[in-house]
Amino acid sequence: MVSVFCLGISAAKAQNSPPPYSPPPYSPPPYQQPQYYYYPQPDQGLYLRANVGPTFYQDGKLTEFGGGPYGQGPNATVKYETGAAVNAAVGWEFNRFISADFETGFQGTRIDNVPGYFQYDHSDVYDIPFLVNAILSFPIPNSIVTPYIGAGIGGADTYFDARGFGDSSQTVYRTENDVEWAWQAMAGLRFQLAPNISLGLGYRYFTTADTTYSYGYPPPNFDVGFDGIRSHSVLFTFDWKFW
């Protein structure tokens, strides 16, 4: 009797027990293409930078023509055409955030018109800057993008290429130059293509002090003066790091 009872209990337990565990078949996750991000190197090192792009000039003023202002009088408005800028810099990156460099290049445009004055041919105004820049970079983690801002100060060798520029009484020819103070401010984005190569797009504001160009003819001395250049450039940049 006891044996029959125990067999009944065992049969009941066997019916109520769950089936043996069987793990699901393994399915590997779908393949994902790895993504590579190039971070600016943390080491110090030398770099080169090249910039090129169009330059847009604010209207200026003709402040002097001869012994005193003629034509429309003092501060005759000077309108410039769209110009261009080509610059190169060599510098030192102290870390991923701070760098400094020396920059020079060429920037120029043509005078469109000055009310009260004429031109036999287009007269040109151009600058050869020599500036020391300080640049702050803000690399974005896990990204190829690095925003930056900067400023520079120095000088510019400015040229006025007069091709028959004058008023009803006097006309000047020939290229004359004047060396004056200059400074600039910049901002933009760099895109890291490789550990030591990046391309970028930037904005630059450039300005000089007022300029005076002295001509020996008409005698005894004939000065042509302009207020300082104020320009806005959109620059495509290339950076190469030597480490």
For 5, 16, 90, the CA distances from 211, given in Å and listed in that order, are 118, 102, 28
Q: Across residues 89-110, what is the average pLDDT?
A: 96
Question: Residue 122 pLDDT more than 50?
Answer: yes
pTM given for the model: 0.78
Q: Judge contact between 94 and 118, C-beta under 8 A.
A: no
pLDDT band for 155, please (50, 70, 90 cuts).
very high
Question: Residue 25 pLDDT more than 80?
Answer: no
Of 67-71, 141-145, 215-219, 238-242, least confident by mean pLDDT is 67-71
Question: Residue 197 pLDDT more than 70?
Answer: yes
Question: Residue 196 pLDDT more than 80?
Answer: yes
Q: Across residues 103-124, what is the average pLDDT?
A: 93
DSSP letters spanning 111-166: EEE-TT-EESS--EEEEEEEEEEEEEE-PPTTSSEEEEEEEEEEEEEEEEEEEEEE
Q: Judge contact between 137 and 177, C-beta under 8 A.
A: no
Question: Residue 72 pLDDT more than 70?
Answer: no
End-to-end CA distance of the chain: 92
pLDDT band for 126, please (50, 70, 90 cuts).
very high
Give 3-state DSSP helix, strand, coil % of the chain, rounded to 5.
Answer: 5, 60, 35
- Average pLDDT over the chain reads 87
pLDDT for the residue numbered 71: 44
User: Which of 243, 148, 193 lies closest to 37 in space, CA to CA?
Assistant: 193
Q: Judge contact between 164 and 201, C-beta under 8 A.
A: no
Thinking of the domain 2-241, which architecture would CATH place it in? Beta Barrel (2.40)
